Amino acid sequence: MPRLLTFVAGLAVVLVSSSLQAQGSIGAQGLGYPVGGLSGAAAAMGGASAELDPNSAVNPAAITRSNRLSIMVRFEPEMRETLVGSQRAYANLVRFPGFQATGSYGRWVGAIGITPMLDRTWRNQTNDTILVTGIPTESQLQVSSEGAMNDARLALGYVISPRVQVGAALHAVVGENRTFFQRSFPDTSGVQGVSQVNSFGYTGAAYSLGVVAELLTDLVVSASTKFGGDMSIELQGDELRTAKVPARTGLGVAYFGIRGVTAHARVDQVRWTDLEGLSSSADGVFDATELAAGVEALGPQLFGANMLVRAGFRDRTLPFGVSGDQVRENGFAFGVGLPLARGRTQIDLGAQRLTRTAPGAKENSWFLSLGFGIRP
Amino acid sequence: MSRPSRWIALLAFPLVAALGACTEDLQTGGTCPLLCPGQDLVIRDTVLEGTVVLDTNLLGFPFQGSEDPLVLAAWTDTLDIRVVARFDSLTRQFQQVNGDAPTEITKLDSAYVTLFLQASEVATPAQWFIDVYDVFEPTIIDTIPMQSVPYFTPARLVGSYQGDTAFTDTLRIRIPIDTTFLRTVLNTPDRRVRLGFQVRAAQRVQLRVTPTDLGNGPTLAYVAASVDTVPAPDTIVRTRFSFPGNSQTPAVPPALASDLTDYHILIQAPNKLAPNTITIGGLPGSRAYLRFNVPAYFTDSVGVLRAQLQLVQDPVTGPAANDSIRLDGHLTLVNTESVSLHRAATLLSPAGVFLASKWITPSRADTVRLNVNNLLRQWNTSNPGRAQPTALILRSNLEGGTASALRFHSTRAADPRLRPKLLITYTPGAVLGQP
C-alpha cells in the first residue's frame, strides 16, 4: 500500500507539473469552467449520481454511504477543439486534482476534501495589428491564467436510520489565479511592450445541508442545498471586488429495483449570478440548471470482482456567457469502475463527450475522469 | 492485492500520465477576439507640453586630453585647431661601442614623429602642410593649453611635412624632426619634448589625428649613432629608439598627466550657439541638458508603450552641414542630490542603453522624435523622490571631433510649437488579465 500511495503522489506531480494550456475557450469564460466536483464514478454517468455519491463534493449527507476510512483522488484532463467560424483551436488541459478523505465513527461520518469549483487555466497567444498613435502596428498578445477557485469542504454526516441520513458541510472558497499579460511589439516599431504578472486570490465561505432518504423500497431520494456567504477577489492582498458564494440546490433520485442495475437522475441549479460583479472579464453571468441521467450496472467479472459499467448524459448551462449569451453544454458519458484488492482499491474511469455552444462558436470536448480510491 | 489486480492498477498510471503529458498544441488566434474578452489593451496618446522645465547648453566636452579624435584644422579665418603631443620620457643616454658606461647621445642620424591621420568631413585639399613646433616652455602652466599657443612661431619650427595627397580614408605620415634640436633636448636635463602641430593649406583643411589613448597615437623615433670610441669608421653602430607619447605632468592628479599626453587646442571656431536654442556638438563640444517635470502618473501608474521627446531643428549652416550626426541621448547617472549640471552631463549611461540614438542632418529643419521609453521607466518615484534625476543629456557621436553641430529650438522659443515636448503613448494603469 505505501507503494500505491507513492504512485498516487507521483502521478499528481506529473499531472500538475505538465499543466497544459488552453485558450480562447467557450467553457473557460469569466471566472472559469465549473468543473462540478464530481467523482470519477459520477462523471461516468454524466453527474446523474452526484447527489448520492459519497465521493462527489455535492451532498454532505451522501458521505454516510462511505462508512469506512477511504481516500479518493481524481484527475480530470480535458481535450477540446474550439471552432469560431472556420477557425479551429485545439487544447489539452489538466486541472488541479480533487481530493477527499472520509472516515466514520459510529453513526457519524466525516469527510474533508477539496475540489476545483471554477477552473481558469488557459493561455492565449494572438498575433494582430493594433493602432498605436493612429499607426497600424504589428503586435503579439500573450495572456495566460493558471489556477482555480476551489471548494474546500468539511462535511459531517449522520445515519439516522438505514433509510435516512443527513449531513452538513462548511465550505471555504480558496485558491488563486496567476495571470500573465503581455502585449509585445517588434523592435523596429519603437513601441515598448507591456507586461504584468498578477496573482488574484479568492476567499469566501458557505455551508450546505443535505439529506438522503429511501422514501420507497428501492427508491432513494437525495437533496442538498448550499447557502453562500461573502466572498472576495484580492490582488496581492488588496480586495478588488466582493460577491456571494453561489447558492446551489440539487435533487437526485436513484432506483435500485432492477437486479444489478442502478438508475440515477439529477437536477441541479446553481445561482451563479451571486458572483455578479466579481469578474471584470465575464461577458454576462447566468444562473445554471443541470439535468443528468445515468445507469450503473454490474459488468463482467475481472480478477474475482464485478466491474461496474456506467453510462449517462447531461445537459446544462454554463455560468459565463459569450458575447452576452449563455453557453449550453450537453453530451454523453460512459466509464467503468474497477474494484481491486477485494474492495480495498477502486479505480473509476470515465469519459464525457461534451459539446458547448454559443452564438458563433462551438466546442467539442473529451472530458476524462480518473478516480483512484483506497480503503486502508 | 493479487498480482493481476496490481497490474491493472499499475496500468492506470501510465494511462493518466499520458493524458496529462500530452504536448500542447497551440493553434491560437482564431478564437479571439470572440472568446477572449477582457484582453484588450486600452491605448491612449498624450502630448506633454511644458514638461521640459530647464534646458541649457553645457560647453567644454570632451575634456582636455579626452578628445577622440584629435582635430587638426585651419579654415583660414574661422577655425584653427592645433595639436600638442608630449614625449616626456625619452632615452637620453646611449651605450657607446667599446664604452665603459652609457654616455649622452652625441649624434643623431635622424628623428621623426609619426602621426596616424584620418580624413574628416571636410575634403582634404590636394596639397597641405603640417608644421611641428617645439612648444615646451618651463615657465608656463602646462594645464592651461592656451599658454602654449605663443610658441607656434617660426623660430621654434622643428619639422614640416608636405602632404601631396587628397586622401579620403587614413594616412600614416612621418614628419622629420630637426636632429640638432632633439639632440640638444636630450642632452639637457629637465628639457622635455613637447611638440605642437599646425596644419596649413591654401584652402580649408581639417584632419583627424588618432590619439595615444587608442594605441595609434603620435610616436617619436630617433636613431642614435655611436662613433666616438670606435677605431674604424665603418663599424658605426646605430640604434633606433621609438616612444609613444607620454606626459609626466601635472603630478596631481595622476590621471590628468595621462590625459594630457596629447590634446588639441581650440584657438578659433565658428560659433554654433544661437539664442533660444540648444546645441549639440560643435567646437568646443556642447551637450544639451534637459530637465523634465513629468507627472508621477506617467512614471508610476501606467504602462508606457512609447515615449518620444520631440525636438524641432534649427538649421545649421557651414561645411559638412549636410553630413549626418548621430544624436545620442543619455540618462545621467548622478544621484538626485547632485546640483552640478556639468557633473550631471559627465556621468552618463552608455549611449543607446536607455535612449534611442538617431542620425540627423544639421542643415535641415525637421521635427525629430527621440525614443525615451526607458528613460521614463527609470524616472519612477520611490520613497518618495525620483529614483533617478529627471534629466536627459544629449550629445553628438562626433563630440569634439567636428565643427558641425545640431541645433534645436529650446523652451524659450517664441513659437510654442517649436518647443520641446513629450509624446507619450500609454496604457492606463489597469490591472491586466483580470478574471
pLDDT tens-digit profile of B397-429? Answer: 888 888 899 999 999 999 999 999 999 998 887
* pLDDT at residue B411 in the model: 94
- Among B4, B9, B20, the residue with its CB nearest the CB of A347 is B9
List, for chain A, all residue ranges whose pLDDT scores fall below the cut of 70.
1-23
CB-based contact B431:A196 (threshold 8 Å): yes
pLDDT recorded at residue A26 = 87
Domain ranges of chain B: 45-61+272-427, 80-268
Condensed to tens digits (0 to 9), the pLDDT of residues B335-354 reads 767 778 888 888 887 766 66
H or E element that contains A239 = strand A238-244
Tell whether the model's pLDDT for residue B232 goes beyond 80: no
Strands A78-84 and A87-93: antiparallel
pTM over 0.80: no
Select the CATH number that applies to the domain covering B45-61+272-427 from these four: 2.40.30, 2.60.120, 2.60.40, 3.40.50: 2.60.120
Confidence of residue B234 (pLDDT cuts 50, 70, 90): low
Kindly report the nearest CA distance between residue B4 and chain A, in angstroms. 7
Residue showing cell 477540446: A80
The widest CA-to-CA distance across chain B, in whole angstroms, is 115
B11 vs chain A: nearest CA distance in angstroms?
11
CATH code, A356: 2.40.160.60
Give the pLDDT of residue B78.
87
- For B298-344, write each residue's pLDDT tens digit: 888 888 888 999 999 999 988 888 899 999 988 888 876 777 888 88
What pLDDT is stored for residue A22 in this prediction? 38
Contacts of B314 (CB under 8 A, 6+ apart): B274, B277, B365, B407, B408, B409
Complex ipTM: 0.72
The residue with greater pLDDT, A310 or B387, is A310
Domain that holds residue A94: 2-374
How far apart (Å, rounded) are the C-alpha atoms in residues A170 and A373? 23
Please count the structural domains in chain A: 1
CA distance A283 to chain B (A): 7
Separation of alpha carbons A142 and A36, rounded Å: 28
Taking CA–CA distances from B38, the nearest residue in chain A reads: A281
Tell me how far CA of residue B364 lies from CA of B322, B325, B402, B407, in angstroms.
Answer: 8, 12, 18, 10
Q: What is the DSSP string of B239-306?
A: EEEEEE-B-----SSHHHHHHTTEEEEEEE------TTEEEEETTTEEEEEEEE---HIIIIISEEEE
Question: Which member of A84, A87, A200 has the closest CB to residue B435?
Answer: A200
The residue ranking higher by pLDDT, A18 or B149, is: B149
DSSP letters, A302-367, are ETTEEEEEEEEEEEEE-SB-BTTB--EEEEEEEEEEEEETTTTEEEEEEEEEEEEEETTEEEEEEE
Least confident of A314-323, A360-369, B13-22, B168-177: B13-22
Among all chains, which residue has been given the C-alpha cell 488574484? A200
- Closest by Cα among A69, A121, A31, A76 to A319: A31
Determine the distance in angstroms separating the CA of B361 from the nearest CA of chain A, rounded to an integer: 21
Confidence band, pLDDT 50/70/90 cuts, at residue B178: very high
Q: Tell me, what's the pLDDT at B262?
A: 92
The B residues from 6 to 25 touching A (CB cutoff 8 Å) are 8-10, 12-13, 15-17, 19-25
Measure in Å the smallest separation between the Cα of A192 and chain B Cα atoms: 5
**What pLDDT is attached to residue B23?**
36
User: Over 90: is that where the pLDDT of B373 sits?
Assistant: no
Q: Closest Cα partner for A161 from A113, A213, A115?
A: A213
CA nearest neighbour of B87 among B225, B182, B215, B207: B182
Which residue from B5, B38, B306 is facing A340, i.e. has the nearest CB? B5
DSSP A97: P
What's the mean per-residue pLDDT of chain B? 84
The model's pLDDT over B83-132, given as tens digits with 9 standing for 90+, comes to 999 998 888 887 766 667 777 888 888 999 999 999 988 889 999 999 99
Cβ–Cβ gap B39/A281 under 8 Å: yes
Q: What phi and psi, each to the nearest 5 degrees, are found at residue B239?
A: -130, 135
Q: Which helix (H) or strand (E) holds A77?
A: none
Q: For position A343, what pLDDT does the model report?
A: 73
- pLDDT (tens digit per residue) in B29-43: 567 777 777 777 788
Tell me how far CA of residue A225 lies from CA of A213, A247, A255, in angstroms: 15, 7, 22
User: What pLDDT score does A7 carry?
Assistant: 41
Name the residue facing A340 among B8, B303, B304 (closest C-beta). B8
Nearest CA in chain A to B305: A192
Whether B37 and A29 lie within 8 Å, measured CB to CB: yes
CB A151 within 8 A of CB A114: yes
Nearest by CB: B5 against A15, A200, A341? A341
B9–A340: do the CB atoms touch at under 8 Å? yes
pLDDT for B422 equals: 93
* Phi, psi for residue A24 in degrees, rounded to 5: 45, 50
With a cut of 50, say whether residue B27 has pLDDT above it.
no
- In the predicted model, what is the mean pLDDT of residues B130-147? 89
